[in-house]
Amino acid sequence: MPSPTNCPLDHAVISVRDRIDEAASIFTRMGFTLTERSFHSAGSCNHLMVFEQDYFELIGWPPSGQAIRPDLLDAPIGLDGLVLRTDDAHGVHRELATKGLPVSAPETLARKVRLPGGQAEEEARFTTVRFPRGALAGGRVYYCQHETPHLVWHPPFQSHRNGARAIVKFTIVVPAPMQEMAQYERILGVPAVVCTPACARITLGHAELELITAQTLAADLGPLACAPIDSAGRPLADYMAMLTIKVQDLHRAEQVVRDGGFATTRLTRDTQASMAVPAGETMHCTIAFVE
């Protein structure tokens, strides 16, 4: 029987702090369809870009004067959340706790949603199990159980001008990829699929988690890579750096992104053609597209 903690990628999170309006404009111009802004009961607001099996979330602070979620107060602007999907948050918590891993008890969150054409707001509900910030390198890692998935994977949300279909790779910079990957092998209960001193990878269902050294990423991306600093300008040894998104047609996606005013660069990583938008234009996260 598979481990309840060996779960697929559910979504990726970019923290934008008090710049949610700017972030929404950036990703709309890049050809993504954004959901309406909604507000979590815990003290945050968000927009989603929903794909076939997963989604990409922009999360920011609520309006001035409202309480802010404590875990977002110190979050740097940029990619800051790797989220795995589970159908049993309580089972995940039991297994991780049995392994002696530092996880929080299951927590329920909610936000109001109005579906396109709907007259009344509905409540989207989630249960999460979280590792404390710092337990894993780069940013926040947690599990999410969707109590109301129909309020997320709604067909009008899933059509994007750039043809986006799925997140296929989540890249984190760490000083020692093999050492850090051992933690994910323990958590997920499966072995890494690629491991070298400079790059380690493990499957997350339809996607892949890539741990890579800063030197290797800089060699691959050059000026497209995000600067290894936090929002206060302090150097970072580890950070979430890049998302790779599968699209229907790479040429069409590049045209849409360029029409939105972004610079794009063609790349070849792992013999696969792709194009990418520099992190300096996309809230401190390199966005790559592959067909």
Same domain (yes/no): 282, 183: yes
- Is residue 2 one of the residues assigned to a domain? no
d(CA 137, CA 50): 26
What percentage of residues in the chain have a pLDDT greater than 90? 80
What are the residue ranges of helices labelled H in the chain? 20-29, 70-73, 89-98, 177-188, 214-221, 250-259
- Is residue 91 one of the residues assigned to a domain? yes
Two tokens, residue 237: 């040894």
Provide the pLDDT confidence category of residue 181 given band limits of 50, 70 and 90: very high
Cβ neighbours of residue 123 closer than 8 Å, sequence gap 6 or more: 110, 111, 112, 113, 148
What are the residue ranges of helices labelled H in 100-249? 177-188, 214-221
Q: Give me the CATH number covering residue 30.
A: 3.10.180.10
Least confident among 19-28, 39-48, 67-76, 99-108: 67-76
Look at residue 20 and give its three-state secondary structure.
helix
Provide the pLDDT confidence category of residue 2 given band limits of 50, 70 and 90: low
CA-based torsion, 30, 31, 32, 34: positive or negative: positive
Same domain (yes/no): 176, 242: yes
- Is residue 238 one of the residues assigned to a domain? yes
Q: What is the total count of domains within the chain?
A: 2
| Residue 281 pLDDT greater than 70, yes or no | yes
Last-in-domain residue among 135, 158, 181: 158
Q: In what order do the strands lie in the sheet with 164-173?
A: 194-195, 199-204, 207-212, 164-173, 239-247, 286-290, 272-277, 265-269
Radius of gyration over every alpha carbon of the chain, rounded to an integer in angstroms: 18
pLDDT score recorded for residue 75: 85
Higher per-residue pLDDT: 121 or 265: 265
Provide the pLDDT confidence category of residue 187 given band limits of 50, 70 and 90: very high
HSE-CB for 103 with a 13 A CA cutoff: 25
Mean pLDDT of 185-193: 93
**Full residue range of the structural domain in which residue 70 is found:** 9-158
If you ran DSSP here, which 8-state letter would residue 132 be given?
P
pLDDT digits (tens, 9 = 90+) for 192-229: 998 899 999 999 999 999 999 999 999 999 999 998 88
pLDDT score recorded for residue 143: 97
Least confident among 11-15, 52-56, 114-118: 114-118
Same domain (yes/no): 174, 147: no
Full-prediction pTM beyond 0.75? yes
| Residue 232 pLDDT greater than 80, yes or no | no
| Residue 67 pLDDT greater than 90, yes or no | no
- Is residue 1 one of the residues assigned to a domain? no
pLDDT score recorded for residue 176: 96
Q: 1: buried, middle or exposed (CB in 10 Å: 19+, 13-18, 0-12)?
A: exposed
| Residue 40 pLDDT greater than 90, yes or no | no
Mean pLDDT of 267-271: 76
Two tokens, residue 102: 């530092």
Mean pLDDT of 173-183: 96
| Residue 1 pLDDT greater than 60, yes or no | no
Same domain (yes/no): 49, 147: yes
Mean pLDDT of 280-287: 96
If you ran DSSP here, which 8-state letter would residue 279 be given?
G
Mean pLDDT of the chain: 93
Same domain (yes/no): 94, 170: no
The residue with tokens 């918590």 is 93
d(CA 27, CA 30): 5
pLDDT score recorded for residue 72: 87
* 3-state SS track over 226-239: CCCECCCCCECCCE
| Residue 89 pLDDT greater than 60, yes or no | yes
| Residue 126 pLDDT greater than 80, yes or no | yes
d(CA 87, CA 149): 11
- Is residue 81 one of the residues assigned to a domain? yes
Last-in-domain residue among 107, 133, 158: 158
Cβ atoms of 154 and 195 within 8 Å: the answer is no
Last-in-domain residue among 158, 174, 209: 158
The residue with tokens 């949300």 is 157
- Is residue 3 one of the residues assigned to a domain? no
d(CA 213, CA 177): 7
